[in-house]
Structure 1
Amino acid sequence: MNNCPRIEIDLSKIRTNTKILTDRCKKAGIQVAGVTKGFCAVPQIAEALVEGGIAMLADSRLENFDKIAHIPLPKILLRLPMISQVEKVVSLVDISLNSELSTIKKLSEESLKQKKIHKIILMIDLGDLREGIWNNQVIETIEEIVNLDGIKLIGVGTNLTCYGGVIPTKNNLGLLADFAKEILEKFQIQLEIISGGNSSSLYLLDREEMPKSINHLRLGESIVLGRETAFGEAIPGTYQDAFRLVAEIIELKEKPSVPIGEIGMDAFGNKPVFEDRGIRKRAILAVGRQDVSVNNLIPKDEKISILGASSDHLIIDVTDSSKEYAVGDEVSFNIEYGALLQLMTSEYVYKRII
């Protein structure tokens, strides 16, 4: 019997998803950086992305780059570097995204120590209000960057939808293209990369609204789960179940649907509310909130509903299912991106690569 709980990973589906997306982007003159953070840079999965055609590997956690150091593609650090980690940044990655001049200066100093040229992409905030220089400070920042040794400005980039939910458009990504043009005119720097965001930018290709100057995207969720992230739509031809959670039933009983007694706070400080549906057949699975956000789980058996969870137990209603479940049976779930992050990070969830 297979170990539970486990996340099953289908490499052939990941390769297919990657190829569909890289081919689609290539036709628009866009190279793809495959984001590995969602699966903690498991080498076999990263290699599947490479086989699918990505041009670079990107991650937010420095620790993950050790796992993929053997793959001969450029490596990008997605999260802004910590000053306390500049030595590792210069040592482990080729390119980092930056918005703080003080950090860039430290990267310059460390690059000279290591006798390297560290490449940077300057992040510009186009309204999502996560990382990035506010647009009226871009030129003055570059005026200082060009005087630093050991550093090479190779691109500009932006991030949208991750914090503020701002959707990429022809207009706001057009501003990024305008900055690249202004940098060329003022500093005679022909930028290699104009990075137009993440999986939320893909829908612009379908609408033929992607600014022509955008030549780089950082794709994670669209590859691993087969959906764009501006509107959450599935991408035609891709798989949404390359990753799935499997958990084992450890109790199966008929019980009331409303707890008996005065209701106080649950284990997470919330006061739960229950709908009285009478006596229901309830299964408890050996996985819980310590491993995964239950709101990001989708039962493969459409007649199952998720009732809730504690730290170590997931409670589901199997009353309406046509399958006769028993203790010891396995229940499968498709997962959303938040669940993927947690499941791959949890040491209590087995990883099975197919």
Structure 2
Amino acid sequence: MYPKLVIDLNKVKNNLNKTIEMVKGSGCSLMIVTKGYCADMEIYKLLEESDIDYLADSRIQNLKKYEGTTKERVLLRLPMISEADDVVRYADISLNSEIETIKKLNDAAGRLNKKHKILLMIDLGDLREGIFFENEDEIYHSVEEILKLENIELFGLGVNLTCYGAVIPKKENLSILVDIAHKIETKFNIKLQMISGGNSSSVYLIGKNELSEGINNLRVGEAFLLGDETAYSQMLEGFYDDAFTLEAEIIELKEKQSLPVGETGVDAFGNRPVYEDLGVIKRAIIAVGRQDVDPDHLHPIDPSISILGASSDHLIVNADKTESNYKVGDIVKFKVEYSSLLRASTSSYVEKEYK
């Protein structure tokens, strides 16, 4: 059945081993982020047998799949108060910034007779989650309140960079996180076990030997899956970028002009598309769409094909220059970037095949 995501488990294992060698060789513990492939259980088997330390995901539903794992489970997205019981039940550690939520986790942990560990998130300027680094009073007040809670352990601090504000991790800004951790340890006479210095955008610092001293954990998803660090989008040596490929079927192949006929407005997603006049071209419609992939981050393996656009369920490509004798029913293969992999893995309409 098509469309399908073809997963080369040997290439995934290679990337996993390279990630372990890189991150743990730097002295950091390693969280492998599993949301990019929706906690696929075949990949989970590789992780369970590996030397990683933590399984990390943004969705509690995915962490539930790992019941019985020997790894600690980490909830990456800030918990919802409404899911506090499940967070404590299915995650050993969660990332937090709101004291009211942490108190609800404490209550849930008490009911479940558990101790729940948290990383207090610090915002170093990327403007996603965390207490803004300049607000020392809020940071100290939060720590003070957390330390009063019987069922919560302040396990450490964390930061997220690049995902929203596209702020690049540097030795300078990560050193701020380390400095805040040292101040907290001195002020409250405690020892923080983890200083988590970000995600795949931080791994380039390892190769440059510029990862701030004191950072002892990284959370890695895209670099492991697709072999690229996400600060400057550079391929990592020895990694594969094609462990995942998308295959989809041609359902129409016709010659048509390249400009729509008539007055144009917005498309099905509220965008106003711009078209290039290429004359009459051979256009293929492929049975996959924006509901399943991000067409802006999808690349035909046949370099003579180019993507023209997509609707919910249709991908339109220019097949005018190809020497391949495509026909209706043929399969077209694509390399995927992270956003397309994420969407394809989540879509119930995309099958999975392993090799």
Once residues 206 and 304 of structure 2 are traced to their aligned partners in structure 1, the CA distance between those partners, rounded to angstroms, is 36
How many pairs are equivalent? 352
Q: Contact 2:48–2:70 (CA<8 Å) still a contact in 1?
A: no
1:40-72: per-residue Cα shift (whole Å, max 9, x none)?
Answer: 111111222344432110001011112111321
Matched, 1:333 2:334: yes
Could you say which residue in structure 2 is the equivalent of 1:15?
13
> What aligned pairs does 1:145-156 form with structure 2 within 5 A after superposition?
145-156=146-157
CA shift at 1:225, angstroms? 0.9
- In structure 2, the partner of 1:257 is 258
Q: CA offsets per residue over residues 146-183 of structure 1, 9 Å max, x none? A: 11101111111100001111110001100111122112
* Structure 1 contact 97–121 (Cα < 8 Å) conserved: yes
Q: Which residue of 1 aligns with 2:25?
A: 27
Q: TM-score normalised to the size of structure 1?
A: 0.97
Correspondence list, 1:216-255, <5 A: 216-255=217-256
The CA deviation string for residues 182-216 of structure 1, in whole angstroms up to 9 with x for no partner, is 12212222211110000000111111110121110
Unaligned runs of at least 5 residues, structure 1: none
2:346 corresponds to which residue?
345
* Deviation beyond 4 Å, 4+ runs, structure 1: none
Are the aligned partners of 1:35 and 1:59 in contact in 2 as well (CA < 8 Å)?
yes
Q: Distance in 2 between matches of 1:301 and 1:80?
A: 41
Closer, same or farther: CA 182–264 of 1 in aligned 2, 3 Å: closer
**Residues 109-151 of structure 1, C-alpha deviation per residue, up to 9 Å, x if partnerless?**
1111111110111111111110001222212211111111011
Alignment partner of 1:152: what SS?
strand
Query: What SS class does the counterpart of residue 325 from structure 2 fall into?
Result: coil
Rounded to whole Å, the distance in 1 between the matches of 2:114 and 2:222 is: 32
Q: Residue 195 of structure 2: SS of its match in structure 1?
A: strand
Whole-angstrom distance in 1 between the partners of 2:305 and 2:144: 59
Q: How does 1:65-104 map to 2 (within 5 A)?
A: 65-104=63-102
Task: Give the letter aligned to residue 92 of structure 2.
Answer: D
Counterpart of 2:124, as a letter, is L
Contact 2:160 2:197 in 1 (8 A): yes
Question: What is the CA–CA distance in structure 2 between the aligned matches of 1:129 and 1:80, rounded to whole Å?
Answer: 14
- TM-score with structure 2 length normalisation? 0.96
Does the aligned pair in 1 maintain the 2:31–2:220 contact within 8 Å? yes
Q: Which runs of 5+ in 2 are unaligned?
A: none
What does 1:24-173 align with in structure 2 at a 5 Å threshold? 24-135=22-133, 136=136, 137-173=138-174
Q: Distance in 2 between matches of 1:261 and 1:255?
A: 15
Letter in 1 for 2:243: A
8 A contact 1:15–1:51 mirrored in 2: no
